[in-house]
Amino acid sequence: MPFKYLNQIIYNEDASLRDVLSDLGKWAEFLDNKGFGIIVDDDGKCKGVLTDGDVRRKVLKNVDLETPVKNVMNKDFIYVSVNDNYHHILRQFDKDITILPVIDLNGKLVDLYKYSEFVVSARNDLRIIRARVPCRVSFSGGGTDMSSYINKTPTSVLSATINKYCTCSIIVGKDNKIYISSKDLNLKYTAENYNDIELGDDLDLIKSSVKIMQPNFGFELETHAEFAPGTGLGGSSAVVVSVLGALNYFRNEQQLDIYQLADLAYQVERIDMRIKGGWQDQYATAFGGFSWINFRKNEIIVNPLLLRKETILELEYNLMLFRLGETRSSSEIQKSHISKIEKNSTNLDSFSEMTELSVKMKESLLKGEIKSFADFLHESWIIKQKINSSVSNDLVEECYNTARELGALGGKLLGAGGSGYLLIYSSPLYQKKIIEALAKKGVTQEIFKFSQDGLEVWSTKK
């Protein structure tokens, strides 16, 4: 906020010394007990300053009090520009100056800095807060992370995050209005405050994420996702965690920890928005990296896997990601999946088999046994189809079988199933043929790298 009494200490250069003198001391208590005035011309441009010390010196020299103030003001005064950085401002205060006029590019007064109130860290420059969250690739255990299962039986999921991100950016406003926009969806929404946010469009996931954080200030919020929704990468969780993470920045000493943020993301998606699914996406994207996620009856524990660098590089060299070109409703597939679990007890045996296989896959990665991991990846895909036949379709089967016939060792469809991304493990010797064969089916490869970081939050100048 500009100095409150700025207009009261501005005087025209043609005013008499007597008029200025009679007024100069009125505002001293707000200026560290110093009489101080800014002298401007008819255009409002700053021409000089006058202090009570300047006046006393002129009076002692018998200067006529009717003299125009422009004849006695200090024309060589020290000031700063609106664009000056912190360091330059401190340099001026270092000249034993306690009050600094702030001048705009047109030479007009816009503010006043007092040394008694000037703290570098408190300068109110407009800043952007950003939070970035990666998508996840689930290798094994997906589907066993449903509440209906983990409430009865402990289980685990093996996952990793890749370099496809959702980024949320926030700029604090001057009132309580909230502006929400999605760059990738090309949608915008405005509310007077978080209490007035109403659901009913494709921005509901973001809106619900804002509402649950109960921000008591206004802001502009923008999200940008490097992936299409409904493609099996846990993208909706990445969106939610990015929004929660950005707003969490403003909670100061009441900031939520990473486990609380993951739980809150689950609450937004699964409970508030009623999007069916398990628990792994929120935790995998929030924590990032290669994770072994343990699901217990009353808690979830994320164990980061310390893999050797050459293991990760070899995985990146042999794994290929193919976009099937369609999206689907994960929630609808999960509803069917949950229903089948509850009706068919034989699925529980398959879940147990999946969990045992996940342990083997984790251990193969820790030991750097990449080929064994690829074989287990194939077995995991077979079990996943036994648990829920709707996870696949003719195109998925055709692509996967073609890749296997051409030399691929293993792979799986990511996410709940139906479409999205197909992960294939193949020696580089066969990759070119596989890529060309799938391209003829309209399925294209997308290059990726593993991301070792989960939620990242930072600030920058606007």
> Residues with catalytic annotation?
281
SS3 category, 278:
coil
| Element holding 401 (H helix, E strand) | helix 394-405
Using alpha carbons, select from 457, 456, 155, 455 the residue that is nearest to residue 285: 455
Q: Which of 451, 400, 399 shows the shortest CA–CA distance to 226?
A: 451
DSSP for 358-396, please give it. Answer: HHHHHHHHHTT-HHHHHHHHHHHHHHHHHH-GGG--HHH
Which residue shows structure tokens 């609106």?
82
Q: State residue 11 phi and psi, 5-degree precision.
A: -130, 145
Q: Would you call 187 exposed, middle or buried from its count of C-beta atoms within 10 A (0-12, 13-18, 19+)? A: middle
Sorted by sequence, the CB contacts under 8 Å of residue 349 that are 6+ apart come out as none
* Cβ neighbourhood burial of 47 (10 Å; 0-12, 13-18, 19+): middle
**Which residue carries 């800014």 as its tokens?**
38
* Rounded Cα distance, 443 and 459, in Å: 39
- 10 Å CB burial of residue 371 (0-12, 13-18, 19+) is middle
Residues 6+ apart with CB under 8 A from 302: 259, 283, 287, 291, 292, 293, 294
CA distances from 152 to 141, 184, 343 (A): 16, 40, 16
> Is residue 392 a contact partner of residue 385, using CB atoms and an 8 Å limit?
yes
